[in-house]
Structure 1
């Protein structure tokens, strides 16, 4: 079944799954060689947000090639366009910094020294992807305003219990 993005509920599912402190994988590429790393992130108002440092290799890769993939390490994956929004104390980041402080309240100030000028925020906005919930998969393309919804017929939603 094909729907429009807004009426499909796919954006609500992404918000529900990733609005809190979430470990995600960020994949970048340099000279057609992909690299992946795990980062803390959250999804807010249509984008994934990351606090990091301008000196990190993946930030440099984003600055030269803004197309990244974000995944939860499972089947949920998002093709995004990412960019550095600046230092957390920049005026443009005032509102999102408040969200960072709420979402990462246990560790934000302890881990991020905002006196260091290279601390920065990354905003990664999905333009297409795949997310699942309740044995239903949603393949979406925001640019085309299309979501394909299908029942999942394989192991994607299996919840395994420990055997010990």
Structure 2
């Protein structure tokens, strides 16, 4: 297994669950940061939200985003992929309902046409586990693995 494949395995272990991240977006030349729940699946993070929020308006105008959780950090592009009940969102909807089960329906109204999923397509990332750090280029599908302690 090469370093990229290993990094994807570790990424999946770390983030294929409900994780809290700071999400940074940009409006014009002004950055904005807010905390979101996110779920990692197939080199993307997924966020459940509403199209009327500032974060969705900002990624619609400029998809460049960053995610940070403690020392973990990622950069990529975010996109509103539409309503949870859209046919193309069926598979990810099932996963998000399961992962966010404690709060998904308590805090989201699928009858609201503005409810949406945002996916963050990863470009670069840094994370670590068990004394190893991973610096990943998702675009070129390569990674550097190195000793790392907090």
TM-score range normalised by the length of the shorter chain: over 0.9
**Corresponding residue for residue 141 of structure 1:** 137
**2: CA distance, partners of 1:47 / 1:142:** 10
TM-score, normalising length: structure 2: 0.94
**Corresponding residue for residue 59 of structure 2:** 62
Q: Which runs of 5+ in 1 are unaligned?
A: 157-164
**Corresponding residue for residue 89 of structure 2:** 93
2:118 to 122, 126, 132: 122
Q: Give the 3-state SS of the residue equivalent to 2:22 in structure 1.
A: strand
TM-score, normalising length: structure 1: 0.86
Q: Give the 3-state SS of the residue equivalent to 1:130 in structure 2.
A: strand
Shift of 1:4: 5.0
Q: CA RMSD in A?
A: 1.3
**Rg larger in structure:** 1
Q: Which runs of 4+ in 1 moved over 2 A?
A: none
Q: Which runs of 5+ in 2 are unaligned?
A: none
**1: CA distance, partners of 2:60 / 2:126:** 25
Aligned length: 149
Q: Give the 3-state SS of the residue equivalent to 2:95 in structure 1.
A: helix
